[in-house]
Chain A
Amino acid sequence: MKFYCFHLMPYADLDLDYYKKYNSAWVTLPNSYYDPKKGHILYNRYLDELEYAEEVGFDGVCVNEHHSNAYGLMPIPGVMAGALARRTKRVKIAVLGRALPLINNPLTVAEEFAMIDVITAGRLVAGFVRGIGAEYHSWGVNPAESHDRFHEAHDLIVRGWTETGPFAFEGKYYHFNYVNVWPRPYQQPHPPIWIPSQGSRETIEWAVDPARKYTYLQTFSPVTALARYMQMYRDEAEKRGYTASPMQLGWAVPTYVADTDEEAYREAKPHVENFFNRFLRMPPEMLLPPGYLSLASMKGVMMAKGAMTGGEKTIDELMKVGMFMCGGVDTIVQKFEEYQKQIGFGYLLTALQFGTLPHDLTKKNMRIFGEKVIPRLRHLAEESSPKAKAV
C-alpha cells in the first residue's frame, strides 16, 4: 500500500462560536473572522507538517483546493505545491483540486501542473475535482454545467499535455485557436490522474474507462459507502474487460493514532468534533445546489448526507461508521488491515490534522502513524489482488 498525508490547512483559529450568528463556515461567513497574522503562523506550521510527512515515511503529501471558507485555506493549491516542491525531495505531491469547472480557463491548470511536475522531476499527482457545491455559490459558476464543464476541461488539459501544439480546441464551453502548453509535463505521457469523489456512479463509470483507468478516491465517507463504491469500480472494470488494480482505488479519511485507544479518543475528540460540526457545517442548499448531482444521485445523497448536514456529530458516531479512524496502534493497524482486505484499496490518504488539532498532537499523530502503523500495513495490496466481491 502507498501512504499519503492529506492536509486541508483549515483556519484552526476560527472563533468556534461563529455558528451562533452564521449558519455556515462557508460562502457567507465574513472574512473578518480570518486574522492574517494568525494565518501566517498557520500556513507555515502546516507546511512544516507536510514536510515532516516525508521524514516519517509517507510516500506522498496532498494539498487541495477550497474557496471562501474556514475549512480549507488553499484556494490556489499550486502555491502550496510550489513551496513543497523545493523543500521535499522524495514524496509525491498530489494536488487534489483543481476544481476544473470553477476555473475560467482550464489551460492554467495544464500549465500549473506541468510546472510542478517539471520542477520536481515527475513527483506530481494531478487531481481533478468538481469542487464542493458551496463553491458554486461562492464562485458564481453554474452547477447545472458542472459535469459537462469538468469533462470538457479534462479533455482540453490532457490533450494539451499529450498532443503536439499548437492545435485548435473546439468545445462547447472552451474554444482555442492555439492550444500549445509550455512547459510540457515531465512525466510522459502525462502525470497520474486521481479523481477524488464523495461517491457517484457517473464519476466511477468515467474514471474506470480503459482509456483512462484513473485512480478513484473516496473521500470522507462511511465505510459502507466506501465499500460500495470501490466494488462498483471493480465491477465496472470487469464489465470493460479488465481487472482493476488496487492502485486504482484510494481512501481519504481523517485518522488519529496514539499509544492507546483511550489516549487517542481523549486527544482527538474535541478536534474531530469541531471538524465535522463547525468547519464542515452548511445547510443542504449550500452543499447541493441544483444540477451539481444528477437527479437520481441528488435524491440518494440528500438522504445519506444527513451525516454531514444533520445535527451535531459525536466522535463515537463518526468512529462507528468509519468516517473517523481513531485508536491505539494495534487497533488502527487491525482496522485498516481488515478494511483493506475487504475493500481492496491501494492508496491510503490519511488526514492527520483536522479541525482544531494543534501542532504538537498533529506531529505526534504523524510520527506514530509513520513509524508504527505504515511499516505494518505496507505489505498489503502488494502481495496479491484483493478478493473480488469480498464485501
Chain B
Amino acid sequence: MSEPRQSFETVAGCKVNVRRAGKGEPLLFLHGAQGAPLWLPFMAALARRFEVIVPEHPGFGLSDTPDWLDNIADLAFFYLDFMAALGLERVNLVGASLGGWIAAEVAVRDQHPLKTLTLAAPSGIHVKGLQPADFFMWSREQAIRNLVADQELAEKMLSQPQSDGQIDLMLKNNFTTAKLAWQPRFYDPHLYKWLHRITVPTLILWGDSDRLMPPAYGPEFRKLIPGSKLLVFKNCGHLPHIEKTGEYVAAVTGFIEGARP
C-alpha cells in the first residue's frame, strides 16, 4: 500500500493534519465521528486514480481544536477556506457519516469548488418517526458490533487492543463529536430546506444493514437533492468504505468518471 504524504496545514488559524497520496483529480475525503487516524485500504485504492486528500477535522485526531469550533456550520466554512487555501478546484468531495453531513453543509453554502459530491450514510437531516440509533449510548464494543454487518469483522476489530494514545484520541474525537452533534442529535434542523441548492452530480451510498442511520434515510436524501442517485450495498453496515471496500471504490470511481466534465 502506497505511503501517503503527511503534513500540517494551517487554515483559519487552525493547524490540521493532512494525508495525501496519488495523482489526478482531487478527491477530498471527510471522515466520520471516529476520525481518520490511519491510511486505510480504500484510500490507497482511490489514490490509484485520484489525488486523495484526507484531513483530520479541526477537533479530531492530531489536528488542533480551535476556539471558534462550535457547530457543524463552522466546519462547513472551514472546508471552503481549506479548499481555497490549498488551491483545490473541481473537487470530488466524499463524506462518510458525520463527514457526509459536513460535505452536504459545504455544498449548500458554495458548490463552486466542487465537481461531484458523494455522501455515504450521511447524518444531517431528521425524518419524523425514523429514529437513528443513539451512538452516544453505545460502549466501544457495542459501537463496533453495530457499525458493521459482518460480525467476524467486528470480532477482528475488537481483538485489536487499544493503546493509551488511541484511547486519548478516541476521547478527543468523542468530545468534538458531542460538541457538533449532541443536540439536535446528528442533524441540523435547517439543512433539509436548502439541499435543493445542490446541483453538482451527487451520489448517495447506504448499507442495507446500517444499524446507526436507518437505510430509509437514503431515499429521503435522494428526494431532497435534485438529480442525485442512490446506491445501496447489500449485507453492509454503516461503514461501506471499510466493510465493502471493493464495491465502494468501484462505485465512487465509476460515479466520478461518469460525471460530465
Contact = CB atoms under 8 A, between A and B. Distances in A.
Interface in A119-163: 136-137, 140-145
B183 A299 contact: no
A285 B139 CA distance: 6
B167 A290 contact: no
A299 B178 contact: no
A137 B168 contact: no
B179 A144 contact: yes
B136 A140 contact: no
A295 interface: yes
Interface string B133-145: 0001111000000
A79 to B, nearest CB: 26
A284 interface: yes
Contacts of A295: 168, 171-172, 175
B92 interface: no
Given A142-B183, A295-B168, A137 B137 contact: yes
Contact of A299 (B136, B138, B171): B171
Interface string A280-318: 000111100111000100110000000000000000000
Contacts of B176: 144
Nearest to A27: B137
Contacts of A283: 139
A137 B135 CA distance: 12
B183 A290 contact: no
Contacts of A298: 171
Interface in A38-94: none
Contacts of A143: 178, 182
Interface string B61-74: 00000000000000
B178 A142 contact: yes
Interface residues of A, number: 18
Chain B interface mostly: helix
Nearest to A141: B183
A145 B177 CA distance: 12
Nearest to B140: A285
Contacts of A286: 137
B179 A142 contact: yes
Main SS of chain A's interface residues?
Answer: helix
A285 B171 contact: no
A285 B138 contact: yes
A301 to B, nearest CB: 11
A290 B174 contact: yes
Q: Which of A136, A141, A290, A295 has the most chain B CB within a 10 Å cutoff?
A: A290
B47 to A, nearest CB: 32
A137 B136 contact: yes
Contacts of A290: 136, 171, 174-175, 177-178
Nearest to A295: B171
Given A140-B183, A141-B183, A298-B171, A291 B139 contact: no
Determine which residue in B167, B177, B178 has the highest number of CB atoms from chain A within 10 A of its CB, and name it: B178
B175 A144 contact: yes
B187 to A, nearest CB: 13
A161 B47 CA distance: 62
Nearest to A284: B139
A144 B182 contact: yes
Nearest to B59: A144
A299 B137 contact: no
A298 B167 CA distance: 11
Contacts of B167: 299
Interface string B146-182: 0000000000000000000001100110111111001
Interface string B108-140: 000000000000000000000000000011110
B182 A142 contact: yes
A99 to B, nearest CB: 16
A285 B136 contact: yes
Contacts of A136: 182
A372 B119 CA distance: 70
A298 B174 CA distance: 11
B137 A285 contact: yes
A144 B178 contact: yes
Contacts of A284: 139
A299 B176 CA distance: 16
A374 B174 CA distance: 47
Given A142-B182, A286-B137, 7 more contacts: A140-B185, A285-B138, A285-B139, A289-B178, A290-B174, A290-B177, A299-B168
Interface of B: 136-139, 167-168, 171-172, 174-179, 182-183, 185
21 contacts: A137-B137, A140-B183, A140-B185, A142-B178, A143-B178, A144-B179, A145-B179, A285-B139, A289-B136, A289-B178, A289-B182, A290-B171, A290-B177, A291-B174, A291-B182, A295-B172, A295-B175, A298-B171, A299-B167, A299-B168, A299-B171
The list of the 5 closest CB pairs from A to B, nearest first, reads A290-B174, A144-B179, A290-B178, A142-B182, A144-B178
